[in-house]
Amino acid sequence: MYAFIAYLLWGVLPLYFLLLAPTGPFELVAWRIVLSLVFCALLLTVTRSWPKLIAIMRRPKLLGLTALAGGLIYINWQVFIYGALTGHVLETSLGYFINPLATVLLGVLVLHEKLRRVQWIALAFAAAAVLVIVLGYGTFPWISLTLAASFATYGLVKKRVGPSVDAVSGLTLESLWLVPVAAILLGVTAATTGITLGASGVTHTVLLSLAGAITAIPLLFFAAAARRATLTLIGLLQFVAPILQFLIGWAVLGEPMPLERWIGFGLVWLALAVLTVDSVIHSRRSRVSSAG
């Protein structure tokens, strides 16, 4: 349930970001960082969880992992918001469709896991999809691949952290590490286009002020899920977000879907179907073997 709620909220985020015009992608990410930190500080105060945070800060290894997680989530936020605000919502959805496949690939490259033949076939379909989009559609899907790589690696880091870092403390530290980045982004924005917070009407100010809560809540649900659920279950539920983003980009925002892009998406969907069926069958066989 935690994972499903997180992906549901992420699926509709592009619509929220579009409501924040004229705020640009870099200013928006800066406010997400700052306001997420404020929101988490309030949660820590209400739940009286500051001692947990202080205990984590005394463990250098855990601090290093939260710093790595913070850097990965910054990349993910920045690219996602750039895509949402520049008419590339379909590319963002493709990135999160590829994400489960990227997670499997990370298992091979980082954890030295051995893939079953069907899993290799799924990865081959995904590679073919990228090739079709590059050659047929004439553009390299860097938004999609960056989102898939950054979030798959973020999930791996959160899994490594495990139960040692609770969801609120983890996000607090990740946001804290990114405060200098936010300060630079806001400084550059102020010196160029100007800060939009408080300058574009009451409604805009209220919506932008909610960026911290809207950013933190799905991440907290995801962190809670990553600590409790298997990677297989989290991988299966990941489809909720990209399906919603795809429908928003194609049906709501009217982004183009030429034949080449349909073929590319179709190959990714085929890869996901193969991977899902294989995961379910393998999981059932494992349970039967354990019971026997």
Q: Where are the domains of the chain?
A: 2-281
CA distances for 166 relative to 66, 160, 221, angstroms: 11, 13, 11
Which pLDDT value is given to residue 282? 76
Residue 237 pLDDT exceeds 80: no
Q: Give the pTM.
A: 0.85
Q: What is the pLDDT of residues 195-233, one digit of tens each?
A: 999 888 999 999 999 998 888 888 888 878 877 777 667
- The pLDDT confidence band at residue 138, using thresholds 50, 70 and 90, is confident
- Of the candidate ranges 51-60, 181-190, 209-218, 226-235, the one whose mean pLDDT is the lowest: 226-235
CA distances for 243 relative to 66, 143, 247, 269, angstroms: 29, 17, 6, 10
Preceding peptide of 22 cis, ω within 30°: yes
Q: With pLDDT > 90 as the criterion, what percentage of the chain qualifies?
A: 44
Letter string b/e over residues 184-199, b meaning 16 or more CB atoms within 10 A of that residue's CB: ebbeebeeeeeebbee
| CA 130 from centre of chain | 20
